Amino acid sequence: MTSPLEQKKIKITGPSVVTANRTWDGIVIYRTARQDWSAKLSDAAIVRTSDEARALLAESVADDVGAVGAYIAPVEIKESGKIKPGNLREHIRLQGVTIDLPVPA
């Protein structure tokens, strides 16, 4: 998965969200349509055009206190309407590591 940390030109090819890490504890968060953040992908604002993505990212980056390293990530919208991460990297960020942790949670 090419790291999205160096996103220069914003061009999306499908539904996308803005994701980041929460500043005080680092957990994965998603930008919502209420100009807020949520740890649930289902709460994320979905953008479908590059202009929308640019605007959502600009608004997200402006919240420098709440979130670190905001970027645009692809998602898949299932027929049921459920939102799924668009690649393995985002899947791992949402679901956690793909291995058993040495100490079960």
Partner 1 sequence: MYAYDELDRTLINERVEEFRDQVKRRLSGELTEDEFKMLRLQNGVYLQLHAYMFRIAIPYGTLSSEQLRRLAHVARRYDRGYGHFTTRQNIQFNWIKLAELPDALGDLAEVGIHAMQTSGNNTRNVTSDQWAGVAPGEIEDPRIWSELIRQYTTLHPEFSFLPRKFKFAITASPHDRAAIKIHDIGLRLHRNAEGETGFEVLVGGGLGRTPFIGKTIKPFVHGRDLLSYVEAILRVYNQYGRRDNIYKARIKILVHELGIDKFAKEVEDEWQEMRDSDTALTLDDAMIEDIRSRFTYPAYEKLPHTPEELKKAAHDPLFERWRKNSVSTHKVQGYAIVTLSLKPVGGPPGDATADQMDALADLADKYSFGEIRVGHEQNLALPHVAKRDLPALWNALDKIGLATPNVNLVSDIIACPGLDYCSLANARSIPIAQELTRRFANHETADLIGRLHINISGCINACGHHHVGHIGILGVEKNGEEFYQITIGGRADENAELGALIGPAVPYGEVADVVEDIVEAYLALRARPDELFVDTVKRLGVEPFRERVYATR
Residues that bind partner 1 (CB under 8 A): 1-3, 5, 21, 23-28, 64-65, 68-69, 87-89, 92-93, 96-99, 101-103, 105
Comparison of 65 and 79: residue with beta carbon closer to partner 1: 65
Q: How far is the CB of 7 from partner 1 (least distance, A)?
A: 13
Q: Tokens 């790291």, residue?
A: 3
Q: Is 48 helix (H, G, I), strand (E, B) or coil?
A: coil
What are the angstrom distances between the C-alpha of 61 and each of 24, 66, 68, 88, 92? 16, 9, 8, 24, 23
Q: Tokens 């960020």, residue?
A: 93
Comparison of 26 and 40: residue with beta carbon closer to partner 1: 26
Q: How far is the CB of 20 from partner 1 (least distance, A)?
A: 10
